[in-house]
Amino acid sequence: MKFQLKSCAALVAASLLVPVAVQADDDEMDFGMYVQKKMHDKSKKLFGIKKPLANSAEGNVARMPGQNAYDLIELAKGLKAKILTRDAGNKADMFSFWPNENEPTHLIFCIEGSDEVIGSLDSGLDKMNPSVQSIDLEDGSVSTILRGMNRCDGIRTTAWGSVLATEETSSGQAYEIINPLDTENHTVTDRAIGTIVTADNEMSMNVVKRDALPTMAWEGLTVLDNGVVIGGDELRPGDWDLAGDGGDDSDVDGGAIFKFVPDVQHIGGMIDKLEDSPLVSGSVYAFRASCREGTSSSFTVNYGQGCEIGNGSWISVSAADARRDANNNGATGYYRPEDLHKDPTYTGPGVRFCWANTGREAAQNYGEVICGIDSDPMLADETIASIVVNRFVEGDADFNSLDNLAFQPHTGNLYVIEDHSNGDVFTCLPDGADRDIKTDGCVRVLSVKDQSAEPTGFEFFGNGKVAVVAIQHSNDDMMSDYDDYGTDDIVVITGFKLNKKSDD
């Protein structure tokens, strides 16, 4: 009996010690931390950088004359940077390469300022805010192509040799520009009816407003080679006057994803005049998730709150009233859809594209990246489940307010840029062969030192080894104006490596 009591006491004492030992092991072998450390250790092989940044840049370096790129940003080990120009218009945002990303000579930048008169042109015409600018990659010189847009943001070079520039405001329009390097100081004098004149106050032959595309707060977009345009409406839920009574409606949906399908698709080659563009006419549709099983011919349509991902289709909306039609017809709303890009490494049917929903960091809605596959971009039929979307990246307390995106050519790594001061740039791996359908992990590669500024407009050259980023919203009190307007810095980053498979 005594032996049994001693044995029980020993067992109890031993059992009390077990949780302590297990806890110690857990602290040392937290599997999430283990994987995160492995990503950092293998960053050269996985991401093409020697060592990621562990934390955001500290301090508060103000923007001032005489600085170099390293005064502005902190970079992952192995990357290098130089300032291309400090004369880009204030609020320089997204840009496209001209004439293409493989052999570019210029960057075509959107300047996200509101429409305002800032002076007079030599002809006596009102000098409006710069909206679209070209930046020479050789010497960094800046020239203003178009003025008078309201918050130019989303911009892309097309396969037929034009530039599509769009506005991020509730009445946002889309403008197509041909021969951009031969276009200087053209001005939008009436956004409502689309009056655009040259610097000599004559009708512009190089710029036109595209009424066939949806009116919305344009942010990210992709323009396919056949003329299909897919873009998001940068709108948060409950932040729009649906009733038209002058106030916001708390239950209005967030921004929808829209698709423009041209009446005549582009089949190749460059155009000589704007009337030959596929953007002249077409139909507009909004994405509506169904959350029900689909077939190639038909599927059951169920939609509403709680249905944001899965199978879906495209529903018809009017171009002029796209936002209202989308809300009234059950299109899926998201929290401020921002930048949107097609995946250049996707090889399946149709197109894969991804977009960022910014969310609201202060409300612990940290943002996300959603990716969709549209199996037939020219098809738009609400009875056919031709598209499926799912979450790819989810933000957190350190990586949030997701905004601009950029796929690295050849690797498929997705670069995601934060939309806030002291913002960072992360790179995220494609989904591997594991069970889930999300990125296999993300690391930090860039951080802005200026606490009043943020990174934006991040894009890669076609070789995947060189990138460009704008440093936006900085305090410019110590900097001189250029072209009677405030300025931002444009930085070129080199040193990105490709893995052997990508190099091949």
pLDDT > 50? residue 169: yes
Q: Which residues contact 502 (CB under 8 A, 6 or more apart)?
A: 410, 411, 464
How confident is the model over 63-77, as a mean pLDDT?
Answer: 96
- Cβ atoms of 447 and 52 closer than 8 Å: no
pLDDT > 60? residue 7: no
- Which pLDDT score is estimated for 298? 64
Q: What is the pLDDT of residues 472-492, one digit of tens each?
A: 988 888 999 999 999 999 999
Beta strands in 277-366 (DSSP E): 282-289, 310-317, 337-342, 351-357
pLDDT > 90? residue 190: yes
φ/ψ of residue 30, rounded to 5: -55, 115
pLDDT > 60? residue 356: yes
SS3 call for 361: helix
Handedness of CA 244, 247, 250, 253 (dihedral sign): positive
- Which pLDDT score is estimated for 43? 93
Q: What is the pLDDT of residues 373-430, one digit of tens each?
A: 999 999 999 989 999 999 999 999 999 999 999 999 999 999 999 998 889 999 999 9
Q: What is the pLDDT of residues 116-151, one digit of tens each?
A: 999 999 999 999 999 999 999 999 999 999 999 999
How confident is the model over 326-353, as a mean pLDDT?
Answer: 97
- Which pLDDT score is estimated for 502? 54
pLDDT > 90? residue 300: no
- Which pLDDT score is estimated for 475? 83
Structural element, H or E, at residue 40: helix 31-41
- Which pLDDT score is estimated for 302? 84
pLDDT > 70? residue 364: yes
- Which pLDDT score is estimated for 26? 53
Structural element, H or E, at residue 445: strand 442-448
Structural element, H or E, at residue 15: helix 2-28
pLDDT band, very low/low/confident/very high, at 9 (cuts 50, 70, 90):
very low
pLDDT band, very low/low/confident/very high, at 346 (cuts 50, 70, 90):
very high
pLDDT band, very low/low/confident/very high, at 242 (cuts 50, 70, 90):
confident
pLDDT > 60? residue 6: no
As a whole number of Å, the CA-based R_g of the chain is 25
Tokens 């009875």, located at residue: 383
Handedness of CA 392, 307, 322, 298 (dihedral sign): positive
What pTM was computed for the model? 0.92
Tokens 């570019």, located at residue: 104
Handedness of CA 385, 289, 299, 328 (dihedral sign): negative
Distance of CA 177 to the CA centre of its chain: 21
The percent of residues above 90 in pLDDT, for the chain, comes to 82
pLDDT band, very low/low/confident/very high, at 14 (cuts 50, 70, 90):
very low
Q: What is the pLDDT of residues 422-435, one digit of tens each?
A: 899 999 999 999 99
How does 294-315 read in b/e, with b if 16+ C-beta sit within 10 Å? beeeebebebeeebbebbbbbb
Paired strand residues for 81: 493
The percent of residues above 70 in pLDDT, for the chain, comes to 93
How confident is the model over 185-201, as a mean pLDDT?
Answer: 97
Closest C-alpha among 220, 242, 225 to residue 172:
220
Tokens 């998730």, located at residue: 289
86 vs 141: CA distance, rounded Å? 10
DSSP string for 52-119 = -BSSPPPS-----TT--HHHHEEE-BT-EEEEEEEEEETTEEEEEEES-SSS-SEEEEEE-PPP-EEE
- Which pLDDT score is estimated for 370? 98
Integer angstrom CA distances of residue 123 from 126, 190, 201: 9, 18, 8
Q: What is the pLDDT of residues 229-240, one digit of tens each?
A: 999 999 999 988
- Which pLDDT score is estimated for 20? 39
pLDDT > 60? residue 257: yes
- Could you give the angle at the alpha carbon of 176 between the alpha carbons of 242 and 455, nearest 5°? 70
